[in-house]
Amino acid sequence: MATCETCGNEYDKTFTVTRGERTATFDSFECAAQAMAPQCAHCGCRILGHGIEAEDTMYCCAHCARQEGHNKAADRVGA
């Protein structure tokens, strides 16, 4: 059995996730997201979808990107 790196649970169905140079072992997707998902630079929530990248900074949505001064960020194309 392996141990989840987020919660410490020993579990026989753990899995590993690799992001960049980091590989870690988890017992659930919740623990994996908490440890590995990027955080929004404005509100701090975990970005579980595509998010928005502006000037090499990740945001969860266009609203947060605009709050940080990226005024052209939009959730939809066109009007």
Could you tell me if 32 and 50 lie in one domain? no
Nearest residue to 64 via CA among 73, 56, 48: 73
Q: What is the pTM of this model?
A: 0.79
Could you tell me if 44 and 72 lie in one domain? yes
Could you tell me if 45 and 73 lie in one domain? yes
User: Domain of 69?
Assistant: 37-79
Domain tally for the chain?
A: 2
> Which amino acid, one-letter code, is at 76?
R
Could you tell me if 48 and 67 lie in one domain? yes
Could you tell me if 49 and 64 lie in one domain? yes
Could you tell me if 26 and 49 lie in one domain? no
Alpha-carbon distance 65 to 21, whole Å?
Answer: 27
Question: Residue 78: pLDDT above 80?
Answer: no
Could you tell me if 3 and 41 lie in one domain? no
Question: Residue 51: pLDDT above 70?
Answer: yes
Question: Residue 20: pLDDT above 80?
Answer: yes
